[in-house]
Amino acid sequence: MTDGHLDVVGIGNAIVDVLAQADDGFLSKHDLPKGGMTLIDENQAEALYGKMGPGVECSGGSAANTVAGVAALGGRAGFVGKVRDDQLGTVFAHDLRALGVEFDTLPADDGASTARCLVLVTPDAQRTMSTYLGACVSLGPDDVDDRQVARAQVTYLEGYLWDPAQAKQAFRKAMTVAHDAGRKVALSLSDPFCVDRYREEFVELAEHQVDILFANEAEITSLYQAADFDEALQHVRGHCEIAVLTRGDKGSVVVSGDELHVIDPEPLSNLVDTTGAGDLFAAGFLAGLTQGRDLHDCGRMGSIAAAEVISHFGARPEADLKALMADKLGS
C-alpha cells in the first residue's frame, strides 16, 4: 500500500455528506446562500440537521470525491484528510479504501467528531452546503507523508483547505514536496465564497505555485474580480501551465499556453443533484492527463464524469465510469 507509483494524491477535508431535499423557502428561512458552501459550528449543525428532512449519508469532501473518481477510472490514487475514530469516520475511510484509494492518515482519537456537510438539494437540482469541519481542523503538516506526495504524478489540493487553521500548512508543505520531486500541483478553487475569503493568497498560488488550476466560471471571475468569463480567461492564461474552467451547462474551456479547447457539455438525460459536479470533472480530467491523453480528451473525460455524478443524488460515481468512458470515447 505504501510504495509504487500513484497518479493523483488528493489532500482535502474528510467529510461525510448528509443529503436532503429542501425548497427555496427553507434556504431563505435559514439564511443559506443558494449554491454556496457556508461554514457552521457544531451547534448550528445540530440545529439545522434537526430542521432538515430525512437524509441520506454519502462520503464526500471535494478532493476526496475527486480521488474516488480517479480510482473509479482505473487510476492509482491516494488521499490525505482527517476523520475522527467514530462511525462516520469509519464510513468515510471505507468508501475510499473500497475503491482502492490509499488512505493512511491517522484518525483523531479525541476532539471534534468527523466532519459533516449538510447538503440541501432544491427541486432545480442545485445544492446548498453547510459544513461543520469537525475533525478536519486537526489536519496539519505532519499528516502529509513526503514519500506519498513524491510518488504521485499530481498532488491535488482543494481551496477549502484554507478554512481549517493548520491545513494550509499541510497544503504548502505538500506543494513544496511535490515540486521538489518534479511533480505537478493542481488546485481547485472550490467555491466563489471561498475565493472571496482568500483571494490574495489564491491569486498568488495560481500565478506562482499551481501547475493545473480548476475553477468554475463564478470562481475564476471572482478570483480576478473580472467583469466576465472572457476577461478572467485572459488573466489566467499564461500563469498556470493548464487552466481547466467549467461553465455548467455551457461546457468547459481548457487553456494551456497557446492551446485552447472549448468542450461541449455532455448531453444529460436526468439532472438530479449537482453535488460533486466540479469534483468529478477534475477526476475525469486528471485521470485522462495521468494516462497521457491530449487536453481535449481530458476535458471530455471531465465532462462525462461530471454528467454521471449529477444524474443521481450524492457526489460519488454510481455507474461504472471506466465502461462509460470506453463507450463514449471509444477506448
Stretch that binds a second copy, among 4-12, 47-55, 163-171, 256-264 (CB under 8 A): 47-55
Choose which of 33, 36, 55, 140 interacts with a second copy (CB under 8 A): 55
Closest alpha carbon to 216 in 188, 242, 237, 181: 188
HSE-up of 274 (CA within 13 Å, CB side)?
15
| Cα separation, 21 vs 252, whole angstroms | 28
Please tell me whether residue 113 binds a second copy under the rule CB under 8 A: yes
Contacts of 293-300 with C-beta under 8 Å, sequence gap 24+, read 295/242, 295/254, 295/256, 295/259, 295/261, 296/254, 296/261, 296/263, 297/329, 298/254, 299/244, 299/252, 299/254, 299/261, 299/263, 300/263, 300/328, 300/329
The answer to whether 262 and 253 are in contact (CB under 8 A) is yes
Task: Kindly state the smallest distance separating residue 210's Cβ from a second copy, in Å.
Answer: 29
Task: Name the grid cell of 253.
Answer: 474551456
Query: Given candidates 28, 87, 225, 234, which one binds a second copy under the rule CB under 8 A?
Result: 87
27 forms part of the interface with a second copy (CB under 8 A): no
Tell which one of 11, 61, 78, 95 touches a second copy (CB under 8 A).
95
Question: Should residue 128 be labelled a site residue for a second copy when binding is judged by CB under 8 A?
Answer: no
Determine the interface stretch with a second copy among 48-56, 177-185, 198-206, 279-287 (rule: CB under 8 A): 48-56
C-beta closer to a second copy: residue 54 or 292: 54
Applying CB under 8 A, does 234 fall inside the site for a second copy? no
Nearest approach in angstroms of CB 86 to a second copy is: 6
Query: Is 236 a residue that touches a second copy (CB under 8 A)?
Result: no
Q: Compute and round to an integer the Cα radius of gyration of the chain.
A: 18
Q: Which residues contact 45 (CB under 8 A, 6 or more apart)?
A: 116, 118, 130, 132
Q: Which residue, 39 or 91, is less far from a second copy as judged by CB?
A: 91
Q: What x/- string results for residues 305 through 324 when contact with a second copy is judged by CB under 8 A? A: --------xx-x-x------
Pick between residue 58 and residue 277 the one whose CB is nearest to a second copy. Answer: 58
In the complex, minimum distance from the CB of residue 87 to a second copy, in angstroms, rounded to a whole number: 4
CA 48 to centroid of chain Cα atoms? 24
Q: How far is the CB of 315 from a second copy (least distance, A)?
A: 11
> Cβ–Cβ contacts within 10 Å for residue 106, how many?
10
Distance of CA 271 to the CA centre of its chain: 20
What's the closest the beta carbon of residue 312 comes to a second copy, in angstroms?
Answer: 8
Q: Is 50 in the site for a second copy (CB under 8 A)?
A: yes
Task: Report the interface residues with a second copy, using CB under 8 A.
Answer: 18, 20-21, 49-50, 52-59, 68, 86-88, 91, 94-96, 98-99, 113-114, 313-314, 316, 318
